[in-house]
Amino acid sequence: MNTIILSEVSVRVAVDGSPAPKTLLQDVSLELTEERIAVIGANGSGKSTLLRLLNGLVAPSEGAVTVNGADSMGDVRQVRSQVGFVFTDPLSQLVMPTGREDVELSLRRSIKNSKERAARAESVLERFGLLKLADQSIYELSGGERQLLALAAVLAVNPAVLVLDEPSTLLDLRNRELLRRTLAGLEQQIIMSTHDLELALEAERALVVDGGRIVFDGGAADAVEHYRALCSEAAAPGEVRGVAAGSSQGKVQAT
């Protein structure tokens, strides 16, 4: 079992033309041990920042993040070897011209022998049903195929935790279903932000992020209900809700 701990984490960034920094996340304390965790919330609520903390892509301004005891800043290599990260747009993640080459790139650090590396890449691509597309340009693949390929490239090094930042946002219904089935079959701990509430409902635990704070933490069904209420409230006529830190009035339920 993996244990990810966020202790009183805040993230602030400087904003051009403003003397005060913008708060992206405020006082987040979590212990993430469940196998399937969903993170839901509006655009700009802080979901991506929260996920990026887990891979060391974002440094906490305050507090600390540890993955199985490794600090996300101090032991960043160890953290990244344990936490695979899948971005929303696979094209920003796939570095090489073809899928085969990209998977091999992932394996360059762990497998020095080129034949061994090629064989391993072949088996990874086969596992995800991507072998026939392995030598095609990544630009010739469909959105779903690219997302699967990005997933395969990350899973090639067998991370213990898989973090996905809105992986289904750019996918059509069929590819979304394909991704859902693929994720369901993985043995890794999965932490995923999503706007797809059906996908979120499959999680054991769900976090609702609003205004840089965790405003709900609990079962997926309750979280989705809470999020819907939050959205209805925000969309009420004549009411303007900011996304700046401290604006949320949500209830946090400890699990």
Partner 1 sequence: MRGRGVLIPNYVRGGSIVHRTPLWLKFLLVAGCGLASFLIVDWLVSAVVLAVMCGLFMLSGAGFKRLVHSVWLVTPILLVIGAFQWWQLGGPVAARIVLNVLVCVVAASVLTVSTPVQALLDGVVSLSRPFERFGADPERFALTIAIMLRSLPFIAGAFSDVRDSARARGLERNPRALVLPVFITTVAYARQTGDALAARGLGDPED
Using rule CB under 8 A, residue 49 touches partner 1: no
Name which position in 80, 120, 205, 213 contacts partner 1 (CB under 8 A): 80
Name which position in 49, 72, 106, 168 contacts partner 1 (CB under 8 A): 106
**Closest distance between partner 1 and the C-beta of residue 68, in Å?**
16
Using rule CB under 8 A, residue 243 touches partner 1: no
3-state secondary structure of 110: coil
Torsion of CA 167, 168, 171, 173, to 10 degrees: 150
Q: Are strands 36-41 and 205-210 parallel, antiparallel or unpaired?
A: parallel
Using rule CB under 8 A, residue 56 touches partner 1: yes
Name which position in 1, 16, 139, 235 contacts partner 1 (CB under 8 A): 139
Dig out the tokens for 54 from the structure.
């887990």
Q: What is the DSSP letter of 247?
A: -
Q: Of the ranges 2-10, 31-39, 83-91, 184-192, which one interacts with partner 1 (CB under 8 A)?
A: 83-91
Name which position in 3, 29, 123, 137 contacts partner 1 (CB under 8 A): 137
Chain centroid, CA 82 distance in Å: 14
Using rule CB under 8 A, residue 97 touches partner 1: yes
Chain centroid, CA 79 distance in Å: 14
Using rule CB under 8 A, residue 57 touches partner 1: yes
Tell me the C-alpha distance between 72 and 108, whole Å.
23
Tell me the C-alpha distance between 67 and 75, whole Å.
10
Distances (CA, A) of 100 to 21, 198, 250: 43, 32, 46
Q: Of the ranges 35-43, 55-63, 189-197, 221-229, which one interacts with partner 1 (CB under 8 A)?
A: 55-63
Q: How many residues interact with partner 1 (rule CB under 8 A)?
A: 35
Range 45-71 burial, b when 16+ CB lie within 10 A, else e: bbbbbbbbbbbbbbebeebebbbbebe
**Closest distance between partner 1 and the C-beta of residue 202, in Å?**
24
Angle (nearest 5°) at CA 195 between 193 and 199: 75
Using rule CB under 8 A, residue 77 touches partner 1: yes
Using rule CB under 8 A, residue 101 touches partner 1: yes
- Residues of this chain that interact with partner 1 (CB under 8 A) are 55-57, 76-77, 80-81, 84-85, 87, 89, 91-98, 101, 104-106, 108-109, 114, 117-118, 135, 137-139, 153-154, 157
